[in-house]
Chains A and B, each alone.
Chain A
Amino acid sequence: MSSPAIEIRGVRKAFRRRERESGAPWWRRGWKDKVALHELDLTVEPGGVTGILGPNGSGKSTLIRILGTLLTPDAGTAKVFGCDVVTDALQVRRHVNRVSVEAAFFKELSPWENMVYASRLYGNTSRQTRRRVIEILDLLGLSKDVVDQPMKQLSRGQQQKVAIARSFLTAPSLLLMDEPTTGLDPRSKKEVQAVLDTLRAEREITVLLCTHDMDEAAALCDRVLMLDGGHVLADGTPDELCARHGAGTLEDVFMQMTGKTLEADEAEEVTL
């Protein structure tokens, strides 16, 4: 396949909200645009892990949702393996899967039942699924007896691991990971990272990884994007970014890059 895994041209996304100006009477609420992404351009070649770093509200999840066909961009085009996310959404969905911060499951159903449902939606049969589920959960350090308990009885970290297992199960070629290891203990984080490595060794898979964990980004990512207020501030390999900013770690780069806009952000928060 010659087309890039992700090709984004001038994508913009804003959300309209009804807001009352401070001091205005309660009945007068005007529409306000909150821009989540400004004119974004991004090309990601197949294979490799691209990290997206940025403070809260910088537009990371918005970008992930656009690629997952869950949000339509206001302007510009986004393509996944050459398929447009708006006009060719069904084709895009065959390529992608996603892990989000909050593990979204039917809480009364067991991990097994949730996984069977997910894999049926992707056209797999349950016979193939069972073996694979156990295999992946085992790699993630989840015991077999967890598989048949209702989701709601699992801890948040365990649920998150099941969510990660689910995303691996459907064999996506583009994996969108939105803070997949948030809420996991250090050992579990390592396990997730190891499984990701194993999977990448098995077959070509492109990963877009949003994270607040700078060490994780440094360890996993071939390329890092720093996002703030819907703008790309920096783009390069972790080493390049560190060298360019004369910083020792990604965290220092992050602090330097976002520090400039921190005060402006705080001022904005106050008026909300």
Chain B
Amino acid sequence: MIGVRGSEMSALFGFAERQLYVYKRYWVWEVVWLFYSIVSVLSIGFLASGLSSLGAGGGSFDLRKAQLYLLIGALLWGYLSLVFMEAAYAIAWERWEGTIEYTFMAPVRRVTHLMGICLFAIVYGLGRTFIVLLVAIAIFDIDFSHADIAGALVVLAASMAPLIGLAILTSVLPLLSPQKGEQMSFAVQGFMLLVSGVYYPLTVLPWPLELAGYASPLTYALAGMRSSLLQGATAADQLPTVAILLGMGVVLIPLGFAVFTWAERRAKRLGLLKRSG
């Protein structure tokens, strides 16, 4: 007999393994998505290159710096949105396949279930973003000589906490509304892109959006990564950012689980887990 902890570990691994099987089976799709990620990051890079011919190169404007600023935004956004959607979509996808009742009926704690999905999404997202990064470095010969890689990695690691919380919160949507949940995840993702300062500083936003931006953990993740990669902020310099990110995680992860538990109870009360009786 395996103990409770052992069986939860087995389940955690099971969720990750399942995703791996799915990617293996859909590998053509994954290649297409990778291509899409590369193309979108490259187009942002070329957008920056093109700014000079649009007359933006003069005076104090540092084109290389602007390009790096935008590329970091594009790369990080690619990673964050991938993890976010991957996790948010997990429930929607199981509904669509019709397996949701079986997953919910398994003797697995919801924490294990959602963590399994999020952790796999993070590993996968990092892997894919790394490939895109290599392509971007090759094409734009990015200069990381001023960068403090350790500082950037610390921020990246800390950003996992609020990201998992947000992803769980969004994965609730398909449980609340079987029909519109998935589209709502896209709306949430789009809004995050708008307010989190991916391609511009928050100060250019009208104040209500700027305010929303300060509430978004992605803002701090992006700002922290930029200060390390562009200005060489060290891991020690990043302590305030790390504290904010972890603090947001401490609030968002339990909140995500609480909301998910509530939504699951509601779905079971109203019979929403499955559409057809």
Contacts and interface: CB of A to CB of B under 8 A. Distances in A.
A200 interface: no
A120 B17 contact: yes
B171 to A, nearest CB: 17
A121 B17 contact: no
Contact of A100 (B10, B18, B101): B101
Contact of A108 (B22, B106, B273): B22
Interface stretch (B160-168, B196-204, B264-272): B264-272
B97 A72 contact: no
Nearest to A166: B102
B268 A70 contact: yes
A122 B22 contact: no
A65 B104 CA distance: 11
Nearest to B18: A117
Contacts of B26: 108
Contacts of B18: 106, 109, 113, 117
A139 B54 CA distance: 72
B13 interface: yes
B14 interface: yes
Interface residues of B, number: 32
Interface residues of A, number: 38
Interface in A8-46: 15-16
B99 A105 contact: yes
A90 B109 contact: yes
Nearest to B7: A123
Given A106-B99, A123-B10, A113 B21 contact: yes
Contacts of A113: 18, 21
Nearest to A66: B268
Contacts of B102: 98, 104, 118
Q: Is the interface of B mostly helix, strand, loop or mixed?
A: helix
Nearest to B104: A70
B107 A117 contact: no
Given A90-B109, A123-B10, A123-B11, A70 B101 contact: yes
A98 B99 contact: no
A72 B25 contact: no
B99 A104 contact: yes
A150 to B, nearest CB: 7
Contacts of A120: 10-11, 13-14, 17
A71 interface: yes
Interface in B232-277: 265, 268-271, 273, 277
A122 B107 contact: yes
Given A104-B97, A106-B22, A70 B10 contact: no
B2 interface: yes
B105 to A, nearest CB: 5
Nearest to B20: A113
Interface in A108-130: 108-109, 113, 116-118, 120-125
Contacts of B11: 120-121, 123
A93 B97 contact: no
Nearest to A103: B98
A61 interface: yes
B269 A105 contact: no
Nearest to B268: A72
B17 A122 contact: no
B263 to A, nearest CB: 13
A104 B7 contact: no
Nearest to B25: A108
A104 B106 contact: no
Given A72-B268, A104-B98, A117-B17, 4 more contacts: A102-B98, A108-B26, A118-B106, A120-B17
27 contacts: A15-B270, A15-B271, A16-B270, A68-B101, A70-B104, A71-B269, A72-B269, A93-B107, A94-B107, A98-B101, A98-B105, A100-B101, A102-B98, A104-B97, A104-B99, A105-B98, A106-B21, A108-B25, A109-B21, A109-B22, A113-B18, A118-B106, A121-B103, A121-B107, A123-B6, A123-B10, A124-B10
